[in-house]
Amino acid sequence: MIEIRSDDFNIAQIANSGQCFRISEQSEGRWEVIAFGKSLKIRVRDDNTHIFECATDEYNELWHNYFDMQRDYGEIKAKIRAVGDSYLTRAVDFGYGMRILNQDLWEVIISFIISQQNNIPRIKGIIKRLCAPYGLHFPTPQELLAFSEDDFAKIGLGYRARYVRNVAVAATEGRLNFGELRKMSYHDAVAYLKKFDGIGDKVANCIALFGLRKLEAFPVDVWIKRILQRQYGGEFDIGRFRGYAGLVQQYMFYYERFREK
């Protein structure tokens, strides 16, 4: 068992931040995280203490990095508050426990292709059905190619099935090269990803942020577009947050979705 009590960690906020789709609340205060073929149970006490039900070795080898525990989020939040933007200060205070996860790149690519024109509960349902034959394991490119059109239709992929199949073909043929992608700069990675059918600017930026750890990525979906227009008249200087703009985006997104209007 590992106990974490921090003002910079909240599993509910992370789970509802739109960056991951295999974290679910099993019952009040009890969560399951599925990643890299492992299942982690987390219990949350009223004082925001999170109890990781795993061995110390497993936590050190997997979950410490997965939850980006080595990064000082308190320092980042202080920098955002220091800018003096009242909206962002409220967003940071509201989503205080947000973190950017270190997820599996392939899973992120497929997840955000599926996310197009979709809501979070439905995305989670599709991914759950996609993974059902494989247990905790996320299907590889080769395994996805074994799905028929009827299989994809049954899990609710709709028009996205073509994009999923095409990117799986690209991965098996080596045209989508994960090793090379990981070495690229943010701008080169986004341009590379956008060459593949079904990956536009928003999805490419989500992959860069959540799959490649490019914290300068700032995905703009309908929620963020609405905020930028309403709060900033469409003019928002991302350069003020060099090195952690993606985290700013997460605070904004979570605040917009869950604050009381």
* Closest listed residue to residue 169, CA positions, set 127, 199, 203, 197: 197
Q: Residues 111, 205: one domain?
A: yes
Task: Write the CATH number for 23.
Answer: 3.30.310.260
pLDDT tens for each residue of 145-204: 999 888 988 999 888 999 999 999 999 999 999 999 999 999 999 999 999 998 999 999
Query: Into how many domains does the chain fold?
Result: 2
Provide the percentage of residues in the chain whose pLDDT is more than 70.
Answer: 99
Q: Is 202 a catalytic residue?
A: yes
Please report whether residue 202 resides in a domain.
yes
Assign 165 to helix, strand or coil: helix
Residues spanned by the domain of 201: 105-210
Look at residue 203 in the predicted model and tell me its pLDDT. 96
pLDDT tens for each residue of 32-53: 999 999 999 999 998 889 999 9
Query: Quick one: pLDDT band at residue 234, thresholds 50, 70, 90?
Result: confident
Q: Residues 62, 134: one domain?
A: no
Task: Write the CATH number for 197.
Answer: 1.10.340.30
Handedness of CA 199, 201, 203, 208 (dihedral sign): positive
Look at residue 116 in the predicted model and tell me its pLDDT. 85
Q: Residues 132, 204: one domain?
A: yes
Q: Residues 124, 204: one domain?
A: yes
> pTM value?
0.92
* pLDDT of 261 higher than 80: no
Q: Which of 194, 202, 225, 261 is catalytic?
A: 202
* Closest listed residue to residue 156, CA positions, set 119, 130, 138, 117: 130
Please report whether residue 235 resides in a domain.
no
* Closest listed residue to residue 90, CA positions, set 231, 242, 243, 240: 231
Helix (H) or strand (E) holding 30: strand 30-35
pLDDT tens for each residue of 95-139: 999 999 999 999 999 999 999 888 889 999 999 999 999 999 999
Q: What are phi and psi of 100, to 5 degrees?
A: -95, 120
